């Protein structure tokens, strides 16, 4: 099963990938991964797929403005 198929299975309307979140936040993927390493955002691991809550990304985006 591909990562996209797995994301759809786990509820794509509630989660986003690291790449999608970095685009949403307007930062590079490496910068977002550094934020995740510093535990500034919660991650959800599904096998090899790292997901973030869309609502948490939106809240964090609003705080950065």
Phi and psi for 26 in degrees, rounded to 5? 75, 30
For residue 7, pLDDT over 70 is answered with no
Question: Mean pLDDT, to the nearest integer, of 22-34?
Answer: 94
Whichever domain contains 57, its CATH number is 1.10.1660
Percent of the chain scoring above 90 in pLDDT: 45
Beta carbons of 50 and 6 less than 8 angstroms apart:
no
**Domain count of the fold of the chain:** 1
Q: What is the pLDDT of residue 47?
A: 77
- Show the domain range for 42: 3-64
pTM for the structure as a whole: 0.76
For residue 3, pLDDT over 70 is answered with no
For residue 9, pLDDT over 90 is answered with no
Q: Is 35 exposed, middle or buried (0-12, 13-18, 19+ CB in 10 A)?
A: middle
Residue 39: band (very low, low, confident or very high) from pLDDT cuts 50, 70, 90: confident
Beta carbons of 63 and 23 less than 8 angstroms apart:
no
């Amino acid at each position: 099963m591909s990562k996209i198929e797995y994301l759809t299975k786990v509820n794509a309307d509630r989660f986003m990938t690291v790449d999608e979140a970095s685009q949403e936040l307007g930062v590079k993927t490496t910068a977002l991964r550094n934020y995740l390493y510093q535990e500034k955002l919660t991650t959800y691991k599904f096998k090899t797929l790292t997901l973030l809550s869309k609502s948490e990304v939106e809240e964090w985006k609003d705080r950065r403005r």
